[in-house]
Amino acid sequence: MKNHEPNPAVGKIVLDRRGLALIEFALSFPLVMVIGGFGIELSNVALTNMKISQYALNLADAASRVGVDVGGGVTQLREADINDVLQGARIQGLPVALGANGRVVLSSLENTKQSYDTVYKQRIHWQRCFGMQSGIDYNSHYGTTPLTAGSTASASNAGSDASTGMGEASNKVNAPKDSGVMFVEINYLYSPIFGNLFISPRIIRYSASMLVRDNRDYTQIQNPSPAATAALCNTYTT
């Protein structure tokens, strides 16, 4: 009889590690995608919040500086000047489509004694706007004024009372006597990158204010010939 050598494979477990990395990747990929996507979405929300905040601050700063010197250290504000600073905000906001997705309200909060006043009064003398979004969520949350307010130096266009100032109840902004504050509100509709997968669309709100930097004439907004088209708050443009 022929003797046979024992088969070394009998009674042993044979391990095949081929494809192990691929299997591990397939199992972990969904989790990595969820965590990564959520991180990207949160980062984009934070970045958009920062941008909207800066747009509001830059617009308030620009509006506090514009005007034309008419002599005697007095600066007049014109509709063309307001249009210029709003155009600057439009261009700055192009990366987030600010005009299409938001609503920007520029208010002049003034503490003055006009020719028709007997005492100093703080009022929202005028407002100008741009942006396509409309409705209660996008209107000014801190006060409104008639469309023609500030267009003439008459009591009929004096604006709206704002004796308590503008802003959040716990952090109101007030204008010094014989001066004004440029108050900006931006309400922006944020659309998530991944739809509703991680977060839902939301409105980002920011406001900013700056004291007027010069000796501005607060009687009215000037609009010399050729007259500029006022950015009234009943119009919706990008």
The answer to the question of residue 238 being in a domain is no
Range of the domain at 178: 20-211
Residues of the chain under the 70 pLDDT cut: 1-18, 20
Q: Is the peptide bond before 226 cis (omega within 30 degrees of 0)?
A: yes
How many domains does the chain fold into? 1
Q: What is the pLDDT of residue 180?
A: 98
Dihedral sign from CA coordinates of 90, 51, 137, 42: positive
Give dist(CA 62, CA 148) in Å, integer: 23
Question: Which pTM value belongs to this model?
Answer: 0.88
| Cα gap 185→79, rounded to integer Å | 19
pLDDT at 26: 76
Residue-level pLDDT at 8: 59
Residue 217 lies in a domain: no
Residue 182 lies in a domain: yes
Q: Is residue 203 part of a domain?
A: yes
Residue 11 lies in a domain: no
Tens of pLDDT along 29-71? 788 788 889 999 999 999 999 999 999 999 999 999 999 999 9
Whole-angstrom distance, CA of residue 75 vs CA of residue 80: 14
Q: What is the pLDDT of residue 157?
A: 98
57 part of a folded domain: yes
The whole-angstrom separation of Cα 82 and Cα 4 is 102
Residue 227 lies in a domain: no
Kindly provide the b/e burial profile for residues 142-167, where b requires at least 16 CB atoms within 10 angstroms of the residue's own CB: bbbbbeebbbebeeebbbeebeebbb
Q: What's the pLDDT score for residue 23?
A: 75
- Is 224 part of any domain? no
